[in-house]
Chain A
Amino acid sequence: MNLTHYWRAMWGIIGRELWRFVTQRERFISALVRPLVWLFVFAAGFRAALGLAISPPYETYILYEVYITPGLCGMIQLFNGMQSSLSMVYDREMGSMRILLVSPLPRWFLLLSKLLAGVGVSVLQVYVFLGIAWCYDIHAPWQGYLWVLPALLLSGLMLGALGLLLSSFIKQLENFAGVMNFVIFPMFFLSTALYPLWKLKESSVLLHNLAHYNPFSQAVELIRFALYAQLNSEALLYTASAFVLFMAAAIIGYNPSKGMMSRKGGA
């Protein structure tokens, strides 16, 4: 196994995922509809109800639509990560996951490639979303659109690794509804995607603390600051650490001798 082999395999996995995404137009559209509904309907409705003080990275008063845009970028990646997790469970039940796992490359590398493929798709979705938001008069500095790329890659990796980890625990496709209720919704609503932390603190200190330590909040803050060409070091460190932790646990979960695979009786 030389480097060329790794390179070809990685591009094979990423290329397949991107090709599937491009050819499945309904998946592309539905991935965009969710955040756009939040932006056009929810944000418009709540604009008057929620007053936002000036807080970094914003230097002036902003509209609620502007505030939730990074959160919706995070939402796209959160759903994409869980969608990848769902497709892993589906592939495992349908058997196509086996072809990936019996190829002659280390399992960690195969899982990382699969993860990168999912991240590639989610970054594409976010940029299309940001493009639509631009037309809706939600503008960030032009450098922000470049800075946000590494932030999106890291947050996508972290959320994808979480999805991967969950997929190693989910026994059957039917259990996936539980993931929606117990992971996606609490993660999204207990975060800074829709309201700033100080606003939450006014209601409940416990909720504030939960939101603060929620890795999704940190990913959203990383995106938010990057979109304004600023670095949020705490969010960067937290998101990177969460990625390493989730990825390591997912690799163990997919290890045939240590993880869940042998106990599941299926691959």
Chain B
Amino acid sequence: MMPRPTAALDIDALSFAYGAKKALDQLSFRIYPGECTLLLGPNGAGKSTLFSLITRLYDSHDGHIALCGFDLQKQTGQALAKLGIVFQQTTLDMDLSVLDNLYYHAALHGISRKQAALRIEQELLRLAMWERRHEKVRQLNGGHRRRVEIARALLHQPQLLLLDEPTVGLDVPSRQAIVEYVHQLVRDTGLAVLWASHLIDEVYPDDYVLVLHKGQIKANGTVDEVLQLTGTSGIKDAFRELTEGVAV
């Protein structure tokens, strides 16, 4: 049997508390290259806290996080270089053009101007945003801004992509386009994806599902495994079962 590659994300016994209030309790899971893991959980489950810890906006001394084998605490730079992220809130500079935003990101990752130009063209063409490259972000609609953010997150060729509810507030066609694009990336490039969502229809049959509730992992496995665990026939029912009836 072939040994498994190094996990793109390896979380071991991770806990975090806001003062006395425990937000995450002994979380352990791994995501491997070529896997798309949907992180499902009701509001307050701890999804945003988990993302803040993986991006090292918060720090926890209780537990361990590694990205592509790099310890986030000790090898922060190497670990973060492997990470691409799309936050729930738009983090683009509204007064700059699409190109300026992308060049800024490329500079932060140490990519030369020439190399950046090539990658920007490639990513924007793939996301059908090349024609809009000179427009100010403020002039773009929500779906197009999201596409630019995905292009930006992929610019430094990360091995793990974190998506924090990237389709919130988008219309159905824009949402579907993004869901399909990310799944295609996983299939074609072997990218690992952790996708926080509250939309069950974003789960594809080949995806992995991780259900988080009150800071604890309630289920972690393929769609079939989660259905089997809960004895349900659909992921929506499984989610309800695992979160004690809390709505998605």
Contact = CB atoms under 8 A, between A and B. Distances in A.
A104 B57 contact: no
Contacts of B61: 257
Interface in B68-95: 76-81, 83, 85, 87, 89-93, 95
Given A106-B77, A267-B57, A99 B91 contact: yes
B57 A102 contact: yes
Interface stretch (B109-117, B197-205, B218-226): B109-117
Interface string B98-129: 00100111111111100000000000000000
A95 interface: yes
Contact of B80 (A11, A20, A23, A103): A103
A104 B109 contact: yes
B89 A94 contact: yes
Interface string A217-236: 00000000000000000000
Contact of B103 (A12, A23, A94, A256): A12
A255 B57 CA distance: 9
B107 A9 contact: yes
Query: Which of the listed residues A1, A8, A24 has the most CB atoms from chain B within 10 Å of its own CB?
Result: A8
A197 to B, nearest CB: 43
A167 to B, nearest CB: 15
Size class of the B contact interface (CB-based, 8 Å): 35 or more
A179 interface: no
Contact size class for A? 35 or more
Nearest to B61: A257
Given A96-B92, A102-B57, A8 B77 contact: no
Interface string B42-80: 000000000010011111010000000000000011111
A4 to B, nearest CB: 6
Contacts of B52: 267
Contact of A256 (B58, B91, B104, B112): B58
A256 B55 CA distance: 11
A16 B81 CA distance: 21
A9 B76 CA distance: 16
Interface string A231-262: 00000000000000000000000011100011
A106 to B, nearest CB: 7
A99 B105 contact: yes
Contacts of A6: 110
A136 to B, nearest CB: 33
Contacts of A5: 109-110
B140 interface: no
A20 B97 CA distance: 11
Given A96-B93, A102-B80, A8 B58 contact: no
B55 A104 contact: no
Contact of B107 (A2, A11, A104): A11
Given A99-B105, A256-B58, A104 B77 contact: yes
A100 B110 contact: no
A256 B100 contact: no
Interface in A1-30: 1-2, 4-6, 8-9, 11-13, 15-16, 19-20, 23-24
Given A102-B80, A257-B59, 14 more contacts: A1-B78, A12-B104, A16-B93, A16-B96, A16-B104, A20-B93, A23-B95, A98-B55, A99-B105, A100-B108, A103-B108, A104-B78, A104-B109, A106-B76
